[in-house]
Amino acid sequence: MGHFVETMHRLGPTTPGAILGFSLPLPAGRRDGRYRGFPNMPPVRRKITLRIKFVKRPGAEFSGGGMGDLTFTERMLVEYAGERAVEGPLTLGQINTLEWLGDDTRAGLYRMMEWAVTVPDGTTLDDVAETLAALVERHESLRTSCVTGDSARQRVSGSGRVAVDVYETKADAGSPVDPEEVTDLIAALQARPVDEMGNPMLRAAVAVHDGAIRLVLIACNHLAVDCESLAVVVRQFDHMIRHPAERRAGPRTHQPVDQAAVEHSPRGRRRAEASLRYWGQHMSRMPQSVYAMPRPAGGAERDVRHAYAVPGSASGEGAPLGCWLDSPALRLALPHVAARTQTTLPMVLSAAFCAVLAWRTGNTDLVFASLANNRIGRDLHDYVGTLAQDTLLAVDADTTSFDQLIRRAGSGTLRAAMHGLYDVKLLQNLQAEIGDRRGVLFQRDCACNINLFESQVRPAGPPEEAQAALDRTTLRWHVPPYFRVLLLLRVIDSDGEPLLGLTTGHADLVPAAEIESLLLGIDRLLAEAATGDVDLRRMTEITGLTPVVRGPEWQRVDGCWIELPEVQRLVDDAVRVPARVFAAPDDHGRTVLTAYVTAGGPVRTPREAHEACMSMLTGRYTAMAPGRYVICAGPPEDPDDPAAWRRRPVLAEGDGRKEQR
């Protein structure tokens, strides 16, 4: 049916409720899906209130790749009239989205999500206009604005206009649509200013060739939809464009104002409180970084071992890098593995990610962010609005059986799905409180974002074919917009097939060769698992992945792998005076980090030293704040001797946590 693309107009701050990850243009539509129809009624011809024509002039064309020249010919403003104009409290999803987008509610700065759709021959611009109007009338989220501040509210407009930009393309009318054509149309739409008279929640662009519509681009901002909501919008657009009699709003269904009422009810509040308790339990013990790995040494370790093109701009500290695994083997294997273990495709993919993470890092207690769609209940099946939020997926990967790991991942997925609806600001407060106590920063080093609209698929061939298909695996590299995630697994729906990718916001820490090894490890593991259970002790033999080797500078502190030199650098940067960090067991045998700090610098108390360390943890995945601080009158002659520091006069000491002050 089309191509799904996410783009970034502006990247807001990283918060616990962010929708994880960003993508470049990719094929990811779906051609089928359940649709709840409406009674057959005669079509209503919508009035196009304004059609602005533009005279061609030099420089009016938008040049792109596969689509050739696009010439902007007109902007249609499509009138709509909804059943009601209403306002109410914000939903938790809207609060979450506003938080990570930032507080600027100007439409041009919203993160937009686009989906390109092909339409039947003979479809007219009026058909597109009528269908879009019906969608906006049906789904109040597509005509809702959010008022921020002390009296934050959502406001549903009763009427308005949708801007539809029309472009003439030189692409041949009968030729297949190339993904680059989608990219060009997106870029053209983004380049044009938002119409002040148009609805900022929904925009559209249409590419035509000699009067025939070649492509329709539907663009919704993230305050209006999440990924599954956009899929609902596109599915219904595709249905109504083919069935004119059903271009009606139909009976009112569950809307964001209704969802806010549910969330503010006693039952809704209890669910949100339970989610925060779930987060608190896991954050009190989870590793600060699941993917705590030695920094790559450079040279051959950074080189990709296969002849795939890696973007040259993805080198250098903090640079983002992404890669998609286009694997016939994975697509063949997944249904067999899911059927044998009586689980779903997302559960199998999550387990495969856990398997390679556990083998590579040595961490078997895996807890990382995962996306919860929060569509529990009949009313939310075709709901359009932003519902998805982060949850925590906790999986015990200490097993030798891949089938057992899949079942554990499945159970963990179900538990996580029940705890993904909460007030993001309350979660931030909880994170700060627990982080201060443990000396860690929850910065989403690993995350998993699986958007598959069909979780059950029948096998397409015998399981033995998966191994034979490994030779057809290809990797497609891209440079995504920057975001602060060390390692993100993304799975999207590409014409009904899963497309799996890994992305990093730090190519200096997770170079291309590492991404390639992890992706191919998942691919080979699933191909092996197509015919039966896999002994995970054979991971190196099956996948080529080798466990990391950590040197003596590594310590396990409060469940976190940390590097003492990195902790030392953290303390040096924070206190800016001579200081030393030592690791030693306490009375219970647990490793404790103690920082000896020379007096006379910017920090005078353990609390100030701890606050300074906590403020500088961002991006330091293998460091944590010390568990104890000792402020000394001066440094010893041998600063590397802990006994010498202990002999210095002590001016203040303590753990520096809030409780001590």
> Residue 639's domain is classified under what CATH number?
3.30.300.30
Helix (H, G, I), strand (E, B) or coil at 166: strand
Contact in structure between 618 and 441 (CB atoms under 8 Å): yes
Q: Assess contact for 640 and 632: CB atoms under 8 A.
A: no
Domain count, the chain: 3
The residue among 543, 566, 592 that closes a domain is 543
Please indicate, yes or no, whether residues 233 and 343 belong to a single structural domain of this protein. Answer: no
Sequential DSSP letters for 504-526: ES-TTTS-HHHHHHHHHHHHHHH
Q: How far apart are CA 504 and CA 523, in angstroms?
A: 19
Q: Are residues 322 and 451 in the same domain?
A: yes
Q: Is the domain of 534 the same as that of 569?
A: no
Task: Among 488, 517, 543, give the residue marking a domain's end.
Answer: 543
576 falls within a domain = yes
Residues 66 and 189 in one domain: yes
- Enclosing domain of residue 567: 554-654
Same domain for 506 and 461, yes or no, is yes
Residue 266 lies in a domain: no
Q: How many CB atoms lie within 10 A of CB 364?
A: 14
pLDDT of 19 reads 24
- Burial (0-12, 13-18, 19+ Cβ within 10 Å), 121: exposed
> The CATH number of the domain where 111 resides is what?
3.30.559.10
Rounded Cα gap, residues 50 and 47, in angstroms: 9
Write down the pLDDT at residue 109.
39
Least Cα distance to 499 among 321, 325, 322, 335 occurs for 325
Q: What's the CATH code of the domain at 366?
A: 3.30.559.30
Same domain, 191 and 327: no
Tell me, yes or no, whether 579 and 627 share the same domain. Answer: yes
Query: What was the pLDDT predicted at 295?
Result: 87
Residues 502 and 558 in one domain: no
Do 10 and 149 lie in one domain? The reply is yes
Please provide residue 328's backbone torsions phi and psi, each rounded to the nearest 5 degrees.
-60, -35
- The verdict on residue 645 lying in a domain is yes
- Establish if 11 belongs to a structural domain: yes
The torsion defined by the Cα of 474, 112, 482 and 187, in degrees rounded to 10, comes to 70
Residue 258 domain-assigned (yes or no): no
What does the pLDDT read at residue 296?
84
The pLDDT assigned to 571 comes to 98
Residues 501, 648 within the same domain: no
Q: How far is CA 177 from CA 117, 118, 173, in A?
A: 10, 8, 9
**Residue segments in the chain with a per-residue pLDDT below the cut of 50:** 1-49, 53-67, 103-110, 299-308, 313-316, 661
Same domain flag for 586 and 519: no
Domain limit, last residue, from 253, 283, 314: 253
Q: Are residues 500 and 604 in the same domain?
A: no
CA distance 281 to 279: 6
279 domain-assigned: no
